[in-house]
Structure 1
């Protein structure tokens, strides 16, 4: 049973005086790197936030239980002991920390500075590590000799007032060995959400607790739905996804704080029950957007590049009248972005990021335009896969390194050209090539001849939007450096096998946008032009909607 959860400064820990480390825990084992890292982190914090009352450095949770006149430390003893050793060097009053296996450990730490230069043998391994850590602390401070006293004084004040721990107190009836074991095996995760849940439960009446637990579980279960989760955009990995909602409430995304417990210490200062009501309201809003097909697609696109928090704040601002107005503003934001892009000037080698944006939006709008209300763009798949740009038709043989790849390229070339009388001689030559005797040198000569004789016939040299589609890297790598008809047939096979091919990419390979299809053996200049016009038309429709001229 949790008795208390709060933030306590190091000065408040000193006031509590007595801490006891039970025998089931290993002794103090922090080495040079761990001690230096803590000191360096504290110095960096002091440089940036010294004496700013609303800023503090938060240490990992200190899990304790009331024990006689002090507290038994269940988790956090390594940091607590290091703080006591820093106090010893700074000659500051500290708390007493006693290891059950070393009854005089508190006295040893307290007097370590005074006895440091005495030639006495270290009588046990724990005291050896105490002295090693103290030596690191001593040498670290001595390197700051310039303005040393001023530095020590500032550091001491900062340590006492601005360094805090998450005080996690369990009841005296708790089996501490089990808690210690579960903490150290990872079965108990002291995440922001778990800490806040504990704080919420503590401040809620006994009769309301089951309802909160049920609400909590229902929200977590819903957030485990991958489509719902990925529609909310790119996020870090969460052990408990509900923590994402607490991060929103704490405005963690815009804080850029590296502190893993930023959300907890930001929210614990507030009315935790009011925070929970905000979590419920935010979740309901996100669910409403998810269920609205148009909101789903517009926000799904926008949250690939900006945090969902921005749109929650926008929706609740005085500038938004209702949901329809909100959707109009979303379209205006997207439109403003695409109006600044010159589609016909985009180049594969210089504008990859912009082309990916354009093709992602084109695919999303293509899905949204479908009459079938059950058709959704799968952001869950888009975010889980790596995506790249693929040339619809490519003559370049760069990247073809095996006999199998050379053979496929030659066979694809034959299939492409055999219906065209002007290439009869070239096709006959290719048919005489012994695929088994192919070498890299022979293949390079063959491909060079093909390119020279077919130059200008196909849209083979284009690196513009007229010759590019969006594909996941797995599919892309199997299609790359082949002629259009080879790619087309392979894409159909992938589609039949259940692989996800973006709708606009599939439409493009099937020449859905071409005005007149005379043959499927090549990707012509006319096909490329029709494809770009289709993208321009889709974007123009969105721009008109954003201006309130037409409705989707």
Structure 2
């Protein structure tokens, strides 16, 4: 065989050979839109001119490493698999319409081959060796009902088959002749380039050249092939196992693979900025630094170890899967999983720190995220900042080292926002933050005061993520005539009703007693709450100069509730917030 053999062939000629998608290849990923795009293009060309030819791209193959006489598909398996699914769907559609004479179509799916002993055997023209395909391909080949649930590949193959069946129904209805003509057009007039080479390594290099800069593939796909291209044959099983773990686990947590890859690079090598389309080039150019080609298995093992920690962080736990209150708090601050994950760069960089130091890092990250959230700092800038900080974090060995690091990073940044933080906290209302973030901050304030007074370690989720805790509007959201009479002008002003100074946390049972009553009645109920910050809305516990009294020494009580009361309480809470989130004191 020539070193590289290039053939311009039809789909029908292509399906005269047998092909295998090796176990190390990526799974079938095409969705409905991609399948329809291919089918619609072919159909449009057929309608335009039945004798015209339609080009669908190229395939890269090499002799199979597991079966004599077959080819391993190195590139183009998504299109090839889709065409194979199309043939199965055409066979099933024609069979369902009672058509006979389907031998030619069936032969395009399964054909006679000769084994190493010279005996005839039946083989499908396409075999999937990766485990994610399960039994669905056998069901497809045999014309049986397909498994609907399972891995990503199973769901995608199931979806592709049904998409093709819908396409055939919409395009040809019950016309057996039209479906046959379409099959004939695909096999005779749809063309592609098959690039064959004598060995796997050369095939992967051709694949890399065709997909230069990631055209048509993302960096994870190219990285995977680069790893296999540089691995020894005996390393394939380990690579396949680790890579499958990475892909499966990212899917389970609904995480974008490229984001994880970027954060892995940022946290490990301190790269300050790298766009998605720059990832693969960076990996290739920095090979000597990262050792990707010299030891691909070690590289993937490092990725796997980082991913295990990453998954724990996403779930509010530390690197080892233990509960971490600060990471749990971040999940309450950002309930939408994909809304903010840049902090994972720093967590990955610090995942091997001593538990006490790592906990301090988590505390500072939570505090920093809320400060930046409140002052409207652009979240996208965090990636660059955290990537740069990762290098400094890698030099931290002791708690003293960490304190220096925190002073030079978190503290410096928060000092820039100190005045703005105080002002914006004081002015918080429902236009500033969504309700769940308002509940988060009230929970943090209430938890802080309780811990100062009583000690204990009740988690934040018991304050702001519990059915037993309600958000209380001191000035009711639906004021009645009594409230208007007592409060005066502005009783129905949403800026006052939703002001942070007008909000508190109360137990469900107490909230039912409060209702929409005026403050003159509510104030006697607040002291019954177990939350000290809520109790002192009206009166301070009379137990002398104790830690309880000291915990609320900077916050006053109110005998009347009016516009000025709301503003005053908002100022007091803003001062308390500067302590809770460790924001340097301002003149105000």
TM-score range normalised by the length of the shorter chain: 0.3 to 0.5
Larger relative contact order (C-alpha < 8 A, sep ≥ 6)?
Answer: 1
Q: Report the TM-score when normalising by structure 2.
A: 0.40
